[in-house]
Structure 1
Amino acid sequence: MALNVKTFKTRSLTAAVFVVVMLTGLLWNQWSFFILFSIIHFGCWTEYQKLIGLIDPDYTTITPFHKYGVKLAGWCIMLYFTSDQFGLFGIPLHEIGWFLGLLCLFILPIVELLFAKEIKPKNIGYSALGLLYISLSWGLMMNLRCSFIPPTKEGVNFSMDTWGKLIPIALIVSIWINDTMAYIVGSLIGKTPFSKISPKKTWEGTIGGAILCVVVIALLGYFTAPANGYRVIHWIAIAAIAAVVGTAGDLLESKLKRVANVKDSGHIMPGHGGFLDRFDSLLLAIPFVWLYIQLALK
């Protein structure tokens, strides 16, 4: 019992710190948002490379230039997807990202040819998948924060800075509600296994979590509609995408961990695992929500 109490206290304290850090990064300003997701980006990359190394030991033989260069190249993708809100010494970050990205594209292959004992296409492929899975997703999250265009509707009273926070926060809240409600519903009435990849998931919990996620976000969208200017159908769509694709993202990361034969992707958050454990659903959901925004709201 003492161990359970200690574990509960550890998980609770870690969760509280996690919430405070996330809210500070999300709500303070655009720079805190950028710093928060830059840290998450590099954390996810570190754990991804560790998992791939466990799945295929050949990946552990990549040169330091490859290992750290691909992380930097991925961060350049994040820089590229920022807007004119971000700048250093009068130079927009997206221009810096474009320039550094071209340098990485030119320099990394040359360095790899010079210093790698053997060029293995599969290792390059693993890194390329990481750029799509991790860096592109966080880049699109930056784009949602920086380049979102509010509706032209009378009575809309959100500030431009609030507009930038709106969709990212709605997406993160949707993922959180879906995960939490799926766990609660599954614990109460779950009987039918959902997937062999994640034995604890049930169909009852998965469906119940998705329904409750959509209902809660729809209600929030309805009661804030006079201020946010968007029809409820859009909030329903975002919540539904987050619930369905987010669940797929969770299963994908669970599959990676199972193949790598590890319980958690990392230990940065005691009792909660690592970066990929916390953001697996979000990583896969972001591109689909971003695509919906481009097609339906811009």
Structure 2
Amino acid sequence: MKTFFTRTASALVFVAVMLGGILWSPFTFFLLFFLVNFFALQEYFKLVRAIDTGYREVSGWHRYGVLVASCAIIMAFTGESFGTTGISLGFMGWWLAVIFLLVLPMGEILLGKDFSLKNIGYSALGLLYITLSLGLLIDMRLSAGVIRFTGSSTGMQPGWMIPLLLICFIWINDTMAYIIGSLIGRTPFFPAISPKKTTEGSVGGMVLAIAVAGIFGYYWGRQWLDLQHWLALAGIAAVFGTAGDLLESKLKRMAGVKDSGNIMPGHGGFLDRFDSLLLAAPFAWLYVQSFMIA
């Protein structure tokens, strides 16, 4: 019972922080995912150190330099949205990112005990897996105010709409997959990676997430998006969100840990909470750029 109340309380706090950060203003959205990126990247590095002990030997310059470069890349995705006196947060971010990404390999050669391209590759993968994904999510949020979308009466959307829809569709897919898997799940989906997932639950979660999006989009959502966009975004969230969850489960299994962290009692770490979003966000961004911008 105590565990149940702990999980419930932490989940309510998590939802409140997420909704506040997403809906309050463009800057709180940026700040929210800036922090998610910072802590999720550190959890990724911890997993890599458990998977390959050679990564523990990277220099402090490498370890902290990658974090700074990551934060700079996230800043760069804000473009001209935040700033005064002609110098934007995005401008500073691009310059810091370029400087650190150019200097980091040189520092690794000079300061590291053993120069390893493999360790540089691990860090680069972390930037692609986490930082690029969240940067593209921020770009979707901030670009919505300056671009026109097809499929609405006004041609414009609230900036938070598509990122929030993506998160909601992922949550619906996960919840429905859990419920259906618990009721009728019999066939293991990827038993070597996630033994509790079933094919029935995973497919059912995807179908119901798309169905909910279709019903809502058909009856209430056409003033913002055409029906096909509701269906496509839900499909992206369901398919690539499930793949993102499996990818992080694979990393944890390789590292021999149950959770990536313990930021939320009973719910794990940042990677555990945002693993689905990390893979779904880039594909949602590609879809928006390809099919939704007028």
* TM-score above 0.5: yes
Distance 2:251 2:222 in 1: 43
Pairs within 5 Å for 1:34-49: 34-49=30-45
> Is 1:14 the equivalent of 2:10?
yes
| Matching residue within 41, 62, 65 for 1:66 | 62
TM-score by length of 2: 0.94
Q: Which runs of 5+ in 1 are unaligned?
A: none
Residues 214 and 239, structure 1, Cα contact 8 Å, conserved in 2:
yes
> Is 1:104 the equivalent of 2:104?
no
Amino acid at match of 1:202: T
Residues 156 and 226, structure 1, Cα contact 8 Å, conserved in 2:
no
Q: Helix, strand or coil: the match of 1:199? A: strand
Residues 140 and 162, structure 2, Cα contact 8 Å, conserved in 1:
yes
Pairs within 5 Å for 1:72-221: 72-148=68-144, 149-151=147-149, 155-156=153-154, 163-196=158-191, 197-221=193-217
Distance 1:14 1:154 in 2: 37
TM-score by length of 1: 0.93
Q: Which runs of 5+ in 2 are unaligned?
A: none
C-alpha spacing 1:106/1:155, structure 2 compared with 1 (3 Å): closer
| Matching residue within 276, 289, 292 for 1:294 | 289
Residues 150 and 163, structure 1, Cα contact 8 Å, conserved in 2:
no
Distance 2:100 2:152 in 1: 46
Amino acid at match of 1:11: R
> Is 1:271 the equivalent of 2:266?
yes
* 1:203 Cα offset (Å): 0.8
* 1:115 Cα offset (Å): 1.3
Residues 61 and 108, structure 2, Cα contact 8 Å, conserved in 1:
yes
The match for 1:27 is 23
Distance 1:117 1:108 in 2: 15
Amino acid at match of 2:214: A
Q: Cα RMSD over matched residues?
A: 1.6
- The Cα offsets for residues 184-228 of structure 1, whole Å up to 9 and x where unpaired, read as 111111111111210100111101110111111222222333431
Q: Helix, strand or coil: the match of 1:119? A: coil
Q: Helix, strand or coil: the match of 1:227? A: coil
Amino acid at match of 1:134: I
Distance 1:150 1:235 in 2: 17
Identity %: 55
Distance 1:234 1:168 in 2: 13
Residues 152 and 222, structure 2, Cα contact 8 Å, conserved in 1:
no
Amino acid at match of 1:204: E
> Is 1:53 the equivalent of 2:49?
yes
